Amino acid sequence: MKLIKNVNIVLPNGKIKKRGSIIIAAGKIKEITDIIPYGEYEEIIDGEGVLTAVPGFVDMHVHLRDPGQTEKEDIFSGCMAAAAGGVTSLLCMPNTEPTIDNPAVVAYINDKAKKATAKVLVAGSITKGLKSAKLCDFAQLKAAGAIAVTDDGRPVENQELLQKALKAAAANGLRLLAHCEDLKIVDGGIVNKGEASQSLGVKGIDRESENKGTQLVIDAAEQTGTSAHICHVSTAEAVEMIAQAKRRGVKITAETAPHYFAFTEKELLQKKDADYRMNPPLRTENDRQAVIKGLKNGTIDAIATDHAPHTVAEKSNFLTAPNGSIGMETSFAAGYTYLVLPGLLTLPELIKKMSDNPAAILGIAAGKLEVGATADIVLLNTNKKWTVDPLKLHGKSQNTPFKGLELAGKVAKTILNGKVVFDEAVDSM
């Protein structure tokens, strides 16, 4: 048995137990108590009244780049980054090379991930090769171990095909994640259309791209009576569309990413740095506030990172760089700094957006600190401030928009299946 003592514990009911103890046996949480139980333990972790125990984070939007682009990231390096960020379960996206559109690629990922420092869940693609032409065999993907489907990186462009996909996903017990975008509207844009595109003299991405795509997914879910999850929400209009759909009883859930509640296009204008280029792009202050409001009132259910590694060389040219930023190691600290410290969310509310809610959306047994649950636990030092140094992060890539910023809240230890897979004290030696 293992003992974690003198820790503040965020419980499933949203309350925080002060200076409690957690006993772990056979990879499960055996007991949560107010006292320090006597007994023989193979390992004792003392939080000294400073550390806070929370359930392991579930990041439902991660690009591991494996297979095919392992110079950017691979399953092992991505999971090292996950562990350093307190992420114990992650959903990997299918835009790999080859695409995760067949059982062989699902099997490859599941087999390789057995030795990783996080649990890798697999999202197969909705269409073969992400081409919006032919649906994948969802039954085969499910049998191979996929738990969700998405064409993330691209939308399903045909509405009739999207409706068929929603029905097929529901029939096979797979969660469908929707990338909401109209490629005709995007038309080669690289930043938010408006002040950013005008000041930089580049083609912009009109917000109508995301808004139109969001409405199409909502309509498809409503018309078929099925559920859909909307990825990386960034516009005020999309937040409102989702809120209205939920009020009508449409089975919609949604996520946003830390960069959308932390930054606006102003950062891009100031730095002209491709690490601040992602899709959807950074928007306006009005959009940032709408995203925060959506997180506060429950319109946006989850915080995911859209962790998208790229090499330094790729990101060196602002105009030609691919979209995307990494985020697993900074996600909690960003949430704590930009949402909890200003009083916008409580710590338990933030944790729920990063653990319990995404686990529930994906239908996996994770995200709860309770007796009988798997001992996927993160110990946080909410008092610690740290400066994000891309060279000290644990993945292969460095393209973080949080670089150089001082954030509050640090992962001290990450425990996976009862075993410590990240220890900041050891890591920093």
By the 10 Å C-beta count (0-12 exposed, 13-18 middle, 19+ buried), 109 is classed as: buried
- Amino acid letter, residue 409: G
CB 170 within 8 A of CB 138: no
Q: Provide CB contacts within 8 A for 194, sequence distance 6+.
A: 204, 265, 284
Catalytic one of 66, 151, 301, 306: 306
For the chain, give me the number of helices (H) and strands (E)? 16, 18
Half-sphere exposure of 120 (CA within 13 A, CB side): 30
Half-sphere exposure of 286 (CA within 13 A, CB side): 6
CB 401 within 8 A of CB 263: yes
Torsion sign across C-alpha atoms 106, 112, 115, 120: negative
The CB density around residue 297, as the number of other CB atoms within 10 Å, is 10
How far apart are alpha carbons 114 and 68 in whole angstroms? 19
Q: Provide CB contacts within 8 A for 20, sequence distance 6+.
A: 7, 8, 9, 32, 33, 34, 53
How far apart are alpha carbons 73 and 81 in whole angstroms? 10
Q: Which of 337, 348, 358, 342 shows the shortest CA–CA distance to 258? A: 337
How far apart are alpha carbons 303 and 189 in whole angstroms? 25
φ, ψ of residue 303 to 5 degrees: the values are -110, 120
Decide if 306 is catalytic. Answer: yes
Q: Which of 413, 329, 279 shows the shortest CA–CA distance to 82? A: 329
The CB density around residue 37, as the number of other CB atoms within 10 Å, is 13
E-state strands within 50-208: 52-55, 57-62, 87-92, 119-124, 148-150, 175-178, 191-192, 204-205
Catalytic residues: 306
